[in-house]
Structure 1
């Protein structure tokens, strides 16, 4: 059209300039859209991990400021949970002396898995592994803190749960005796054994520890001895009884 003198050079240059300006405005609009998307993204809080959200501290429409000291909520990742517990100094020394390994990390690796007893006294169905020992003893309690990690695939455990850990330890030449079958007198622990004539004999035992509701007995009894499980408060040394055998499953 310029060649045919329908448009002047000035009109062509004006049209090109208008086109370039329009293209620039399009790019500005695209940039504004991208900026708006970024700003909208700031209104969304995306968790970096799976977990459970706690109480929401703000309602929809509440003003939120960076100066707020209170978090919006708390997100708990409960896939793996840490359980903290303490050992006394003597128990910790025994652990270091009796566990194989050249250093603390090797000793931790060689420890058997541990069990978690929940607050309702049930045993958690996953075993844990001790993976951390604190660097110092608590000067007030004389104990040191250890950490065990438990898998939590079903989400049974939550942060703040309480319970007890049960450590496995091997004992040689040791018997389990129900605490219910014992009596204590003058700082000594006794059981009533039953001889061949069905007479009861008060027998002192040496207790070296506990496992659940049982005593660990290292001396005073031998495998195969019969002891009285119930009614020991009514017995006298030398009394003849009519014993009734109990199955292992019926005890405890």
Structure 2
């Protein structure tokens, strides 16, 4: 009986020990599972949360500026054709004048005497011609009556021809004298504005001396230079438009598109103070040859100038727009540079930061222009100074409208 009780006690003790061991193992497993879960959560929480932007292709209008040489539509140097003293000055500097309006009066006494002398010689030649003509008529009657020989008539005819040639010579001398006299009164060659007048009343001027300049600034020309590559791009575009027009004339369905193609591009002028000129210009023509050494060619734009704001020799910049299609805008704040390369961080498939280099094609406000990406690439916008290549991050999507805003206000670029 004692042995039975002892055996039962031993079995109860073993079962108690097994139960305690089971509880210990279960608690250990449960603790390990909880620890693993907490570790995973801690890792997730330790990831740096950064804003990211999903890239998409877009089309923008890039303003391009070129340094322009502004010139008046007409600019003429008024010079003296003769030597003489300045007797009168009829205009003042900066005055608006009309065509053929007198500007200066040079001493004319000498040229007036030359006109009188030439007039007297012409009158003498005409008198001699009249006498020679009467002599020829008289001799004709006498020769017909066989009173004089025909040789006498021929001699008289020769004298008449000499008298007539003397008239022609005298008329030419009188014309030259009158022309010289007209040079003493210097007139405006066209409607315009008088420039500086270096010679004052009483000054002696020689033939060829500059008296003033006359400028017509009702319209002005702005000349700017482009490279050979830009010229080729521009000319190919014009050729494509001409071909399009030819096809449109053969197809009535394209009549509306043809009308749109014929609309001319508006070109603006940026003045030296940074303000935009209120009138737009029209591209008219270009030079015939490329400039040696620089390989550039000049184009001419005509601008109206009704208020006379622009002056000959002023400075400014011609600005026009160029469309760029299928490009990506990369915020500059998301980039950093090492030597000659520009880098950004892209978000990898496992939400890891991946460093990436690219070469911008230009700038558009606070953005770089590039075509070296794919639609859907995610760019890290901020916190790049805390990242390393391959580090795990927690991306937070940012809308395109929040990043780009109104692109029209960011178009101040140095493309």
TM-score range, shorter chain: 0.5 to 0.7
Aligned residue among 63, 66, 83 for 2:204:
63
Return the alpha-carbon distance in structure 2 between the equivalents of residues 211 and 92 of structure 1.
23
TM-score by length of 2: 0.38
Higher strand share: 2
Tell me: CA distance 1:154–1:117, structure 2 relative to 1, closer, same or farther (3 Å): same
Distance 1:82 1:40, change over 3 A: closer
1:154 match: 307
Asked which structure has the greater RCO (Cα within 8 Å, sep 6+), the reply is 2
Which of 163, 168, 172 is matched with 2:325 structurally?
A: 172
Please state how far the C-alpha of 1:98 moved relative to its aligned partner. Answer: 2.8
Q: d(CA) in 2 for partners of 1:166 and 1:71? A: 36
Higher relative helix content: 2
**Residue aligning to 1:54:** 195
- The alpha carbon displacement at 1:215 in A equals 4.3
Does residue 90 of the first structure (1) align with residue 205 of the second (2)? no
Task: Please identify, of 119-128 and 39-48, the stretch whose mean Cα deviation from structure 2 is larger.
Answer: 39-48
C-alpha spacing 1:40/1:223, structure 2 compared with 1 (3 Å) = farther
- TM-score by length of structure 1 reads 0.59
For residue 284 of structure 2, what is the aligned residue in structure 1? 131
- Mark the CA change 1:124 to 1:139 in structure 2 (over 3 Å): closer, same or farther: same
The answer as to whether partners of 1:117 and 1:166 remain within 8 angstroms in 2 is yes
Which residue of 369, 376, 385 corresponds with 1:235? 385
Residues 106-165 of structure 1, C-alpha deviation per residue, up to 9 Å, x if partnerless? 9xx776222222223332222222111111111210111111111122222222122222
The 3-state SS of whatever aligns with 2:310 is: coil
Query: Quick one: structure 1 residues 145 and 82, their matched pair in 2 at CA, closer, same or farther if it must change by over 3 Å?
Result: same
Distance in 2 between residues matched to 1:145 and 1:96, nearest whole Å? 14
Structure 2: gaps spanning 5 or more residues: 1-180, 247-261
Larger Rg, first or second structure (1 or 2): 2
> In the alignment, is the contact (CA less than 8 A) between 1:181 and 1:227 conserved in 2?
yes
Q: Deviations over 1:159-188 (max 9, x none)?
A: 212222223222212345676775443433
- Go from structure 1 to structure 2 and tell me whether the alpha carbon gap of 1:146 and 1:180 turns closer, same or farther (over 3 Å shift): farther
Contact 1:200 1:236 in 2 (8 A): no
Structure-to-structure mapping, 1:8-23, within 5 angstroms: none
Instruction: Go from structure 1 to structure 2 and tell me whether the alpha carbon gap of 1:73 and 1:223 turns closer, same or farther (over 3 Å shift).
Output: farther
Q: Which moved more, 1:142-151 or 1:153-162?
A: 153-162
Q: How many residues align?
A: 200
Q: 1:133 to 1:208 in 2, by over 3 A?
A: same
Whole-angstrom distance in 2 between the partners of 1:223 and 1:45: 72
